[in-house]
Structure 1
Amino acid sequence: MSLEIRKFVQFDEETLIEGFRKAEPPLRMFAVAAVVKNPWAGRFVEDLTTEIRSYGPELGALLTQRILALAGGGDAIEAYGKAALVGLNGEIEHASGLIHTLRFGNHYRTAVGASSYLAFTNTRGPANAQISIPLMDKNDAGRRSHYLTVQFAIPDAPGPDEIVVALGGSTGGRPHHRIGDRYQDLEELGHDLDNPAAI
């Protein structure tokens, strides 16, 4: 069985004013999504690996290519994440299967020069359900300024027998961020930051 993609969707927003102040520079957050037929919908399938090994790499490559074009290249992306939303005739396991594989995520990691893991959500819902993609700094998981969420919905997807698979990104962190980062908290608590085992 080959991957069946019904359509691609893009989301792009640019925040110019945040907290009653001009955002300098403006923050762009964006996402690309593929609406795909769920090969396991409506039945219990014991072994999902055949489709995962086939669909994961193809989706990872296609979505990475599209989000890089939307962002203007991998260097423009500072924070990143992924998500899958399965329709009502599917399982959460189906959503997870398509995005929780190195064959999917490594396309994006490599393209943006990342070292941190991809934050994620995997959920189930009807058409027009909210898709939330949590973001984090591509190289520093403790950098709180880049804890963001891209949110959008597709009016006609996922259908009951579909899965929406998406990648998200941003060009920076929250405008006017001022809550510090994880490392400041750890220092205040007396943790030895040079000893990861102590954290």
Structure 2
Amino acid sequence: MKLDIRRLLTAIDHKGWEAGQAAETPLRRVAITAILANPWAGRYAADLTEGIAASAAIGDVMARAGLEAMGGHPVESYGKGGVVGLNGEQEHANALLTTTFAEPLRLALGGALAWIPSFTKLAAPGATIDVPLAHKDALYVRSHYDGVTVTLPPEAPAPDEVALIIVLANRGRLNARVGGLTPAGIAARDGLR
């Protein structure tokens, strides 16, 4: 199975100020959205492995686009999401967002230990989705619990399409101050601490 990207969208949020405080390091969050034909739209498929395998190529394109949009800023956190058009199932986005899809992103980042938080849903064109972010090497870094709200174009995803999304950020929330593990304190190599 070959998956073709019909449309690739990039959104960049570069924020340097919050609550009256200027940030020494601005927060840059990027969302890359790929609109694809849903290979299973309109029918039930018991076996989704062919699509899972094909998703690696899409993950590679999206990872490269995401790093380019980061504009040289290092990536500290990531997330992924998917919106399936109304002729599909939520499971179709989940199949296309497995580790197979994510491995090119991890490789592009030079390795990342933490699982990638995700959220998927079935929705009409123009839907909005909140894609969660967490630190790429340790899930317990509270300062990096964040998210990016992505609003899809008014015509996507069509009923026979699926939108796949990756989000990246160069740091945690501006003015984060709830304590816990800091990026400098990451010591374990288990993706947690």
- Partner Cα distance (2:68, 2:178) in 1: 32
User: How far apart are 1:146 and its partner, in Å?
Assistant: 0.4
Structure 1 residue aligned with 2:9 = 9
- Partner Cα distance (2:45, 2:37) in 1: 15
Structure 2 residue aligned with 1:42 = 42
Structure 2 residue aligned with 1:166 = 165
- Partner Cα distance (2:53, 2:26) in 1: 39
Deviations 1:104-154 (A, max 9, x none): 111111221211111111111111111222111111110010011011212
Q: In the alignment, does 2:134 pair up with 1:133?
A: no
Which has a greater percent of helix? 1
Structure 2 unaligned segments of length 5 or more: list them.
183-187
Is contact 2:130-2:148 (8 Å) kept? yes
Is contact 2:5-2:58 (8 Å) kept? no
Structure 2 residue aligned with 1:27 = 27
Deviations 1:53-109 (A, max 9, x none): 12x111111101111111135x71011111111111110110100002x22111111
Is contact 1:24-1:175 (8 Å) kept? no
- Partner Cα distance (1:80, 1:116) in 2: 10
Structure 2 residue aligned with 1:110 = 107
Scaled by the length of structure 2, the TM-score of the pair is 0.88
What SS does the corresponding residue of 1:76 show, helix, strand or coil?
coil
- Which amino acid in the other structure matches residue 105 of structure 2? Y
Describe how 1:33-182 pairs up with structure 2 within 5 A. 33-54=33-54, 56-73=55-72, 76-100=74-98, 102-112=99-109, 113-155=111-153, 156-181=155-180
What percentage of residue pairs aligned between the two structures are identical? 36
What SS does the corresponding residue of 2:112 show, helix, strand or coil?
coil
Q: Which segments of structure 1 move beyond 6 Å, counting only runs of 4 or more?
A: none
- Partner Cα distance (2:46, 2:115) in 1: 28
**May I ask how many residue pairs the two structures share in their alignment?**
182
- Partner Cα distance (1:50, 1:104) in 2: 12
- Which amino acid in the other structure matches residue 178 of structure 1? R
- Partner Cα distance (1:24, 1:114) in 2: 25
- Partner Cα distance (2:142, 2:127) in 1: 27
Structure 1 unaligned segments of length 5 or more: list them.
184-193
- Partner Cα distance (2:180, 2:159) in 1: 41
User: How far apart are 1:50 and its partner, in Å?
Assistant: 1.6
Scaled by the length of structure 1, the TM-score of the pair is 0.85
Is contact 1:34-1:165 (8 Å) kept? yes
Is contact 1:86-1:162 (8 Å) kept? yes
- Which amino acid in the other structure matches residue 177 of structure 1? A
User: How far apart are 1:49 and its partner, in Å?
Assistant: 1.3
What SS does the corresponding residue of 1:103 show, helix, strand or coil?
helix
Larger radius of gyration: 1
